[in-house]
Amino acid sequence: MATTEHRPLVDHAEQALRQWLAPGRHRTGDRLPPEHDLAAMLGVSRGTLRAALSRLEATGEVVRRQGSGTYVGAIERRRGFSDGLEVLESYALLAERQGIELAVRALRIEHGEAAEDAAAPLELAPGTRATTVERTLVADGEPVAFMRDVLHPSVALPDPARIAAGLEEGKMVLDLLPDLGVTVAFAKTQVRPRLLGGDDPASAALRIAEPTAVLELMEIMHLPDGRPVQCSVDVFAPGGLHIHVMRLMAAPQPASVGP
């Protein structure tokens, strides 16, 4: 796993801007300095600055007006994540960039029969044993997600105590895989509605007593050769995840270059 020092420069610029815009320093509607001044303040190129501002614009933290400038947007603190789905990124890295402190509760690691909804995506025969990791993710002291990860039996795992130590530091299972020699190349993600309530374990973990609609993300992590290696089901508390997706217009038909 890459260290903080090797993270892309735009990540550092985004984090520095977010901390600078923290409540108490600026008000919604304040105009920011011109781009060349901001870039000089951060010690980055204008291209890097613009990439960082684009991320903050996507979350509503800044507003850019053509020909007018950049203004402070919604700077009130959210307790959950703001995430785009274009890039596969660990929530631990996302939290670090967004200034969120993570912890875990009710961590459970066991090796047994893989749940049916995980066995099929992992291409496992019914009854196959696999390691399951369940826990409640806490952000800034509040439960934001109930997480369950099932790992393919082909992954050689260390002692559960070592896995637990990494997760209790705020890491995700995705962060631990590179140290095990597992290279995740891509993930297939489904965003689904889910109704919590009753005796659902996620309801208790997220302190939800009444029937409540929430978001559930199911992700299947794949190796470079396409084999599935991890199945994750994350159930988010209301407000625990703010999703934005950048969508590009389809490219026009290329112009003819023939005679």
What is the residue-wise DSSP string for 70-127? Answer: EEE---SPPSSEEEESSS---HHHHHHHHT--EEEEEEEEEEEEPPHHHHTTTTPPTT
- Judge whether 195 lies within some domain: yes
H/E stretch holding 161 reads helix 160-168
Note the pLDDT of residue 23. Answer: 60
Q: For residue 44, what is the domain's CATH number?
A: 1.10.10.10
Looking at the structure, tell me whether residues 99 and 173 fall in a common domain.
yes
Q: What is the rounded CA–CA span in Å between residue 233 and residue 205?
A: 14
- The amino acid present at 236, given as its one-letter code, is F
Q: Which of 48, 38, 112 is nearest to 71 (CA)?
A: 38
Note the pLDDT of residue 259. Answer: 53
Domain assignment of residue 136, given as a range: 81-244
DSSP 8-state class, residue 42: H
Looking at the structure, tell me whether residues 155 and 185 fall in a common domain.
yes
Note the pLDDT of residue 5. Answer: 41
Note the pLDDT of residue 73. Answer: 84
Note the pLDDT of residue 2. Answer: 36
What is the total count of domains within the chain?
2
- Judge whether 113 lies within some domain: yes
List the pLDDT tens digit at each of the 259 positions of the chain. 333 344 688 888 888 888 788 665 677 888 899 999 999 989 999 999 999 999 888 888 889 988 888 998 876 555 567 677 777 888 888 888 777 889 999 999 999 999 999 999 999 999 999 999 999 999 888 999 999 999 999 999 988 998 999 999 889 999 999 988 999 999 999 999 999 988 899 999 999 988 999 999 999 999 999 999 999 999 999 988 878 777 767 656 555 555 5
- What pTM value is reported for the model? 0.69
Note the pLDDT of residue 144. Answer: 93
Paired strand residues for 195: 213
Q: What is the rounded CA–CA span in Å between residue 76 and residue 79?
A: 10
Q: What is the rounded CA–CA span in Å between residue 98 and residue 108?
A: 27
Is the Cβ–Cβ distance between 123 and 37 less than 8 Å? no
Looking at the structure, tell me whether residues 24 and 120 fall in a common domain.
no
Q: For residue 145, what is the domain's CATH number?
A: 3.40.1410.10
DSSP 8-state class, residue 51: H
Looking at the structure, tell me whether residues 50 and 104 fall in a common domain.
no
Q: What is the rounded CA–CA span in Å between residue 146 and residue 151?
A: 17
